[in-house]
Amino acid sequence: MKITDTPPAGVAEERPPAVRKTAPGTAPEKGSEGKVLNVFSHGMLVLWAFMVVMPLLWAVMTSFKTDKEIFTSPWALPTALQFENWSRAWTQAHMSDYFLNTVLVVGGSLAGTMLLGSMAAYVLARFEFPGNRFLYFLFIGGMSFPIILALVPLFYVMNNMGLLNTIHGLILVYIAYSLPFTVFFLTAFFRTLPTSVAEAALIDGASHTRTFFLVMLPMAKPGLISVGIFNFLGQWNQYMLPTVLNTDPERKVLSQGLVQLAVSQGYKGDWSGLFAGLVMAMLPVLAAYILFQRQVVAGLTAGALK
């Protein structure tokens, strides 16, 4: 029997797949487009990082210079580190008092905001009752209300209650100012947590209070850290509220102290001390973000997943 290479009739001949060749002038493959987009995005990120980091590094470098070096060679490194700038700003400019007042105000307001905000958000997210949606949208409406429109009535309310120029009065205002965003953020976060865990705790005999503090609150740790960082940044850098509600020189916060340090110099200009005070005000914020940057990212993304 003779074997031939010709296939039988009715059977198609199998051929290897043809290799596509890109003709000159045609569009590039998708892989090359992705590489170009990747290079462009990384370039923009590097440019943005340079624009953000360089002013911070320049402020830190300037805080160790003399006033003469700041004006004669603003971009050069200091010839010698002037640590007396920091000590002068800390003592003579009363930055230590402003720093302590800021720690007291921000610490108290942050604790109150997180406690009240998490409790309100948990109730709005987990319990159905008449007026639930109304209260939720009421908090959202508080986010869209500019604080500058409430300064005049807020001043008279604080004055009638005897809370002007007091630390605890400023703490209460900070809490009210930060609650809308905190409730909005944590309500969406509590809705993503599994209901079965809370139901199991209630079946075991735990009360709603114990379930919240011992079961649900630890599970919401990423969200709590994220919203806590945002509240800390906003309250630490707050200037408008303490300027209007706190005019006592002994109870001023860091933002007011920096402005007073810049204005009270007149024509003399202690620029080195001013930059040292500026860096003192920035360090806690930078330290908080560096320590909790992973938790901030985790909290921002965890609310989108169930």
What is the per-residue pLDDT across 85-106, written as a single tens digit (0 to 9) for each? 999 889 887 888 999 999 999 9
Q: Is 232's pLDDT higher than 90? A: yes
Helix-strand-coil split of the chain, %, nearest 5 = 70, 0, 30
Is 296 within 8 Å of 289 (Cβ atoms)? yes
Q: Which two tokens stand for residue 50?
A: 């340079």
Domain count, the chain: 1
Give the pLDDT band of residue 306 (cuts 50, 70, 90). Answer: very low
Return the sign of the alpha-carbon dihedral for residues 210, 215, 218, 219: negative
Does residue 208 belong to any structural domain of this protein?
Answer: yes
- Rounded CA-CA distance 135/125 in Å is 11
Averaged over 175-193, what is the pLDDT? 93
Q: Is 24's pLDDT higher than 80? A: no
Using DSSP's 3-state secondary structure scheme, residue 23 falls into coil
Q: Per residue in 45-73, pLDDT tens?
A: 999 989 989 999 999 999 999 989 998 99
- Rounded CA-CA distance 32/92 in Å is 61
How many CB atoms are located within 10 Å of the residue 255 CB? 19
- Rounded CA-CA distance 52/304 in Å is 28
Share of the chain above pLDDT 70, in %: 84
**DSSP states along 174-216:** HHHHHHHHHHHHHHHHHHTS-HHHHHHHHHTT--HHHHIIIII
Q: Residue 117: which domain range?
A: 84-302
Is 96 within 8 Å of 90 (Cβ atoms)? yes
Of 295, 75, 306, 287, residue with least CA distance to 192 = 306
Does residue 263 belong to any structural domain of this protein?
Answer: yes
CA of 286: how far to CAs of 27, 99, 100, 228, in Å?
46, 15, 18, 14
Does residue 265 belong to any structural domain of this protein?
Answer: yes
Q: Which of the 8 DSSP states describes residue 22? A: P
Does residue 33 belong to any structural domain of this protein?
Answer: no
Does residue 5 belong to any structural domain of this protein?
Answer: no
Q: What is the pTM of this model?
A: 0.79
Length of the chain, in residues: 306
- Rounded CA-CA distance 105/115 in Å is 16
Highest mean pLDDT among 25-29, 170-174, 249-253: 170-174
Q: Which two tokens stand for residue 180?
A: 């809308």
Q: What is the pLDDT of residue 264?
A: 67
Residue 177's CATH number: 1.10.3720.10
Q: Which residue has the tokens 């998708």?
A: 30
Under the phi-then-psi rule, with left for phi > 0, alpha for psi from -120 to 50, and beta for the rest, what region is 252?
beta
Whole-number average pLDDT of the chain? 85
Q: What is the pLDDT of residue 2?
A: 47
Q: Is 303's pLDDT higher than 70? A: no
Give the pLDDT band of residue 18 (cuts 50, 70, 90). Answer: low
Q: Which of the 8 DSSP states describes residue 270? A: -
Does residue 163 belong to any structural domain of this protein?
Answer: yes
Does residue 129 belong to any structural domain of this protein?
Answer: yes
Is 211 within 8 Å of 198 (Cβ atoms)? yes
Does residue 99 belong to any structural domain of this protein?
Answer: yes
Q: Which residue has the tokens 């973000």?
A: 289
Who has greater pLDDT, 21 or 57?
Answer: 57
